[in-house]
A = this chain, B = another copy of it.
Amino acid sequence: MTVNEAAQFLLCRDRFAVLIHDNPDGDAVGAGYALCLALWGLGKSAVVFCGDPVPRRYSYFTAALPEQSFIPETILSADVASMGLLGDRIKEYATHVDLCIDHHPSNTGYAAQTLLDSGAAAACEIVYAVIKKMGAKITNPIAQALYTGISTDTGCFKFSNTTYQSHAITARLMRTGIDTAEINRLMFETKTRGRVEIERQILNRIEYYFGGRCAVIAVTLEMLEKTGAAQDELDGLTALPRMIEGVIAGVTLREKEGGRVKASVRTRKPLDSSKICGRLGGGGHKFAAGCEISGSLAEAKAKVLAIIEREIG
């Protein structure tokens, strides 16, 4: 389906439920709410359905959609690559999706109609095009929702999926006067005291191997207990060791209950993370992979280092 056809379809329908994936990120929440806000602005009824609660940190735009009570007639999905990503609470709708708007090349085509642009950095970029085509006004909350999706899916325009379209759309969203710095502060720049404490302890124990080409950091159960840091406060920690100059293999070890260790490996050329983790029963991408190892932290470290030593040569 083209953007134009999707817009015409939406204009002809009413009573929308927009499904987004479980454990929703900024792009899913942004795309779902931007679409609903635009449809609502056109006088239609539209709600977001998600298997998980929508995180409160997105309330700066989700709060703009009024509560509506109606029986859904048109089922949409946004940023949902496959039916399996829908939570149990909304699984019943999975086989009845009228239109899916997505940017994942792996989209399984589960919907009756699909508007897919795998070149888009974020589903929100496609939703922006649809909203414009429908002739709906880009209000402040819609601009905030769409910006949130683009910014979070591109790592604030840092990742290689960022295109000139990401910037061109953002320029137009910013003309509505939204405070993007505040959105980025909420999404990227806030560290809890627990997180700062974890980073401090990690930096105090960072270890280098193989002439500085490998760096290892470890998060122990004791560190988590003492700092009171929650699991989601550890996000992005795995990027730290590979950031260090000269490091081509960055290893993050996380001690788990029951004598197991989660290893996250991040590499640079010519090392292949998925090959390293594959040897330990894990997998992933070329430069980012993971595996679980049974044993103590010291044992897990020895196992990973033995494999990296062979690869680094």
Interface positions of A (Cβ within 8 A of B): 151, 156-160, 162-165, 167-168, 170-172, 174-175, 179-182, 184-185, 188-193, 196, 199-200, 203-204, 206, 212, 239, 242-246, 268
Contact = CB atoms under 8 A, between A and B. Distances in A.
A156 B154 CA distance: 11
Given A164-B174, A171-B165, A171-B167, A196 B244 contact: yes
Nearest to A245: B192
Contacts of A268: 185
Q: Looking at chain A's contact residues, is the secondary structure mostly helix, strand, loop, or mixed?
A: helix
17 contacts: A157-B184, A158-B181, A158-B184, A158-B185, A162-B174, A163-B174, A164-B172, A167-B167, A167-B171, A167-B174, A171-B171, A189-B239, A191-B244, A193-B245, A193-B246, A196-B244, A200-B204
A180 B203 contact: no
A160 B183 CA distance: 10
Contact of A168 (B163, B171, B189): B171
A158 B204 contact: no
B193 A199 contact: no
A196 B199 CA distance: 11
A239 B203 CA distance: 18
Contacts of A175: 164
Given A167-B174, A203-B199, A190 B243 contact: yes
Contacts of A179: 160
Contacts of A188: 158
Contacts of A180: 157, 162
Given A167-B167, A167-B170, A200-B203, A158 B156 contact: yes
Nearest to A198: B203
Contact of A156 (B157, B193, B212, B246): B157
Contacts of A193: 212, 244-246
Nearest to A164: B174
